[in-house]
Amino acid sequence: MSGIGQLNLDTFLKSAEAYHLWGPQDALLVGISGGPDSVALTHLAHRSGQLAGLAHVNYHLRGAESDQDEQLVRQLGEQFGVPVHVLHSSPDELAACMGLSLQMAARNVRYTWWNELIAAGQGSCLLTGHQADDQIETILLHWLRGTGLAGWSGIPCRRDVFCRPLLPFTRQEVMAYLENEGLVYRLDSSNETNTYLRNQLRHQIVPGLLKLKPALHSLVQQQSQDAAGALLAAEAAMDQLTDQVVRKEGNTWTFDLSKLQSVRWSSFAWYRWLHPKGFSRDQLQAIDRLTPHDHGQYFEGAGWECVVNRGQVICQPVRPGVSPAHHHIWPYDQVVDRPDGMLTLTSVDHYLSSEPGDLNRMIVDADQLVYPLTLREWRAGDRIQPKGMAGSKKIKDILIDAKADRFEKEKTLVLTHGPDQEIIWLLGYRLSAQVHPGPGTRSYLELQWLPKEQGA
């Protein structure tokens, strides 16, 4: 697909050389699950003469199947005469305590551990089995989640100590190599279901795209490289523009609007500057339309505020002790950081029940949400329809029933959705029946509220 050719030892080494992945003195540690891609990768790394060891994480998520994966990895290590490093972990517990999806928690576990192995001298670089179909799926996922230019760059062939020499090869080419070499591998049964969004893309969307565009693999590879190059160029231009436009004094950023008038890509610049501080796209569009003659406009982000003062936009953290009135939240927002706490929004691929009594963490039916969401303090007259109740109930009455004291009532927040600001969550107390997951739910969003201690 990349001009390198079908997968074999020669093309494998050409891939490593073409993308400058490692040198002749490097010791290759392979991150191996026991699946087709990582088994083929292990066999090729062994044939290269540079295989230093295998690193396998047993998450114990599939019972006996997980143990059989580990057994195969240990057999390969013995066969190739290299050490096998095994980490036993339970990422579902990690996800519960950190507010991460199961897949993200598992990724964090293995990459953290892999870094530790490299730091301990178990190899000079770590190889993963990502291939061209993974690249297509990843870029589509990023597109659906609105991650922008960075998402279009996809999976890099190399980042830090992590190398992916199979990215130029398709899943079909990897399977052909396994068959030609008579290699045994394991199949993860969870990959065959459509529970996860990635699997839906793999089984339903990508095959159709390949019929429309048989050269999709090479097209995506080239475009991901172009996007990565464009991102590097954009970062360099951003650094130069920031030096010209922005003055930083402590936590205060001052932007000179007169110096942005001739910049045709100013909307991109505002996005890079202020979106990480919690400002919505609508707010950023309004800021981008400002002129040096504007004065007095006010914008509020997640823990940050912008004031327009005689041709300057002054951005600083919200003053300590002042709780913002409300925050608007859009589908691409993942964190709302306020002086009184932080709300995280994480897409999850299946239902993860909350810990008993954990009313600051809820799973909602993402398809029922109407944006923008709004996080604000509750007001007199506010009502919510709790699950199991035919009608609605006053927030005031729920707090009275819960015997909340005056201070608890004052700091209680609600999350609303849609233009009518219907309340979907009374943080720390009740979730609305409107967004509660049910048998027909296909997309889940995890909401977690992490209150901050006063004076922290």
Residue 215 CB burial class (10 angstroms; 0-12, 13-18, ≥19): exposed
289 plus 435 within the same structural domain: no
In the predicted structure, residue 399 carries a pLDDT above the cut 50: yes
In the predicted structure, residue 217 carries a pLDDT above the cut 60: yes
DSSP state of 204: I
In the predicted structure, residue 81 carries a pLDDT above the cut 80: yes
Residues 155-207 have pLDDT tens digits of: 999 999 999 999 999 999 999 999 999 999 998 877 767 667 778 888 888 88
Range in 109-123, 129-143, 216-230, 396-410 with the lowest mean pLDDT: 396-410
286 plus 267 within the same structural domain: yes
Place 99 in a pLDDT band, splitting at 50, 70 and 90: low
CATH, residue 404: 3.50.40.10
175 plus 45 within the same structural domain: yes
Name which residue leads in pLDDT, 4 or 202.
202
Report the alpha-carbon distance of residue 33 to residue 70 in Å, rounded.
8
Contacts of 270 (CB under 8 A, 6+ apart): 284, 287, 288
In the predicted structure, residue 455 carries a pLDDT above the cut 50: no
Percentage of the chain lying above the pLDDT 90 cut:
46
In 135-233, DSSP assigns E strands to: 158-159, 162-163
302 plus 379 within the same structural domain: no
380 is a domain residue? yes
94 plus 195 within the same structural domain: yes
What pLDDT does residue 206 have?
Answer: 87
What pLDDT does residue 1 have?
Answer: 46
Residues 111-163 have pLDDT tens digits of: 999 999 999 999 999 999 999 999 998 899 888 877 777 788 889 999 999 99
3-state secondary structure of 124: coil
86 plus 113 within the same structural domain: yes
What pLDDT does residue 104 have?
Answer: 79
Q: Compute the half-sphere exposure of residue 398: CA atoms within 13 Å on the CB side of its CA.
A: 26
The domain containing residue 258 runs over which residues? Answer: 250-317
294 plus 360 within the same structural domain: no
Residue 287 CB burial class (10 angstroms; 0-12, 13-18, ≥19): buried
44 plus 126 within the same structural domain: yes
pTM: 0.62
As a whole number, mean pLDDT of residues 278-302 equals 88
258 plus 117 within the same structural domain: no
Task: Please give the single-letter amino acid code of residue 424.
Answer: I
43 plus 140 within the same structural domain: yes
Report the alpha-carbon distance of residue 280 to residue 289 in Å, rounded.
14
In the predicted structure, residue 456 carries a pLDDT above the cut 50: no
152 is a domain residue? yes
In the predicted structure, residue 55 carries a pLDDT above the cut 70: yes
Q: Count of domains in the chain? A: 3
Residues 410-419 have pLDDT tens digits of: 789 999 987 6
What pLDDT does residue 454 have?
Answer: 45
